[in-house]
Amino acid sequence: MQQDKDRLVADLHTRKYYQHRGGFLWIDRHGIDHRADSLLSFLKTVDEFGFNKRRFFVDEIAEDIERLRTLHLDRQQNQVNRVMARLEYRLTKSYLRYVAGQRFGYMNPNFVLNRLDTVAPNPYDTIKRPVRFRGLFDVKMEHPDDSFFAHAMERIGMGTDSLTAFLKSVQPENPFYRVFKEKLNRGGLSKGERDRVLVNMERSRWRQKDNIWNHQKYVVVNIPAYQLMAVDGQDTLTMRIGCGSLKTKTPLLNSHIKRMDINPKWFVPRSIILHDMARHAGNPGYFLARNYYVRDVKTGEEVDLHRVTRAMLVSGACGVVQRGGKGNALGRIIFRFDNNFSVYLHDTSSRGVFEREERGVSHGCIRIEKPYDFAVFLLAEKNRKLMDKIQYSMTDDSLSNRKMVVNGVKVKPEVPLFITYYTLYPLAGGRTREYPDVYGYDKVIWEHLKKYL
CATH code (residue 216):
2.40.440.10
DSSP-derived secondary structure for 170-181: TS---HHHHHHH
Does residue 45 form part of some domain? yes
Those residues with Cβ within 8 angstroms of residue 12's Cβ, 6 or more apart along the chain or in another chain: none
**pLDDT per residue over 199-221, tens digit each?**
999 999 999 999 999 999 999 99
Burial class (CB in 10 A: 0-12, 13-18, 19+), 207: middle
Please check whether residue 415 is in contact with residue 256, taking contact to mean a CB–CB distance below 8 angstroms: yes
Within 8 A by CB and 6+ apart from 190, the residues are none
Identify whether 414 is part of a domain.
yes
In a domain, 194, yes or no: no
**DSSP H or E segment with residue 27:** strand 27-28
- Identify whether 256 is part of a domain: yes
- Both 243 and 100 in a single domain? no
- Per-residue model confidence (pLDDT) at position 2: 60
Tens-place pLDDT, residues 242-274? 999 999 999 999 999 999 999 999 999 998 999
Closest listed residue to residue 148, CA positions, set 207, 204, 218, 215: 207
Which range of residues forms the domain containing residue 236? 208-264+325-421
**Residue 409 DSSP SS3:** strand
Tell me the one-letter amino acid at 428.
A
pLDDT for residue 323: 95
Report the distance separating Cα 117 and Cα 105, nearest Å. Answer: 22
Contacts of residue 207, defined as CB under 8 A and 6 or more positions apart, other chains included, come to 103, 104, 105, 141, 142, 173
Distance CA 368, CA 348 (A): 7
**Does 131 reside within a domain?**
no
**Domain-located, residue 367:** yes
pLDDT of residue 241: 98
Pairing between β-strand 235-244 and β-strand 360-362 as defined by DSSP bridges: parallel
Query: Which residues of the chain fall below pLDDT 50?
Result: none
Alpha helices in 160-222 (DSSP H): 160-169, 175-186, 191-203
**H or E element: which one contains 37?**
helix 34-43
Alpha helix (H) ranges present in 262-370? 270-272, 284-289, 310-314
pLDDT at 49: 95
Whether 215 is covered by a domain: the verdict is yes
Q: Are residues 306 and 214 both part of a single domain?
A: no
Helix then strand then coil, in percent of the chain rounded to 5, is 40, 20, 40
Burial class (CB in 10 A: 0-12, 13-18, 19+), 196: buried
The predicted structure's pLDDT at residue 238: 98
Contact 438, 224 (CB under 8 A): yes
User: In this structure, are 333 and 400 located in the same domain?
Assistant: yes
Distance of alpha carbon 368 from alpha carbon 377, whole angstroms: 13
- Among candidates 196, 185, 178, 211, which has minimal Cα distance to 418? 211
The Cα 96–Cα 10 span in angstroms is: 5
Among candidate residues 136, 196, 200, the one with its CA nearest the CA of residue 172: 200
CA distance 150 to 317: 52
What single-letter DSSP state applies at residue 276? I
The total number of residues written for the chain in this structure: 453
CA dihedral 289, 293, 294, 295 (to 10 degrees): 180
DSSP state of 451: G
Residues 6 or more apart in contact with residue 384 via CB below 8 angstroms: none
**What three-state secondary structure class fits 64?**
helix
Q: Which of 248, 306, 313 is nearest to 276 (CA)?
A: 313
pTM of the model: 0.92
Q: Tell me, what's the pLDDT at 1?
A: 58
73 lies in some domain: yes
Number of domains within the chain = 3
Residues 240 and 384 placed together within one structural domain of the fold: yes
DSSP β-ladder status, 266-267 and 318-322: antiparallel
Together in a domain, 44 and 22: yes
For residues 340 and 383, state if they share a domain: yes
- Do 39 and 78 sit in the same domain of this protein? yes
Q: Are residues 13 and 145 in the same domain?
A: yes
What b/e sequence results for 412-438 when a residue is b if at least 16 CB atoms lie within 10 Å of its CB, and e otherwise? eeebbbbbbbbbbbbeeeeebebbebb
For residues 44 and 91, membership in a common domain is answered with yes
Tell whether 73 and 162 lie within a shared domain: yes
**Cα 345 to Cα 333: distance, rounded to the nearest angstrom:** 9
Same domain, 278 and 349: no
Cβ–Cβ under 8 Å, residues 225 and 438: no
Claim to verify: residue 273 and residue 373 sit in the same structural domain: no
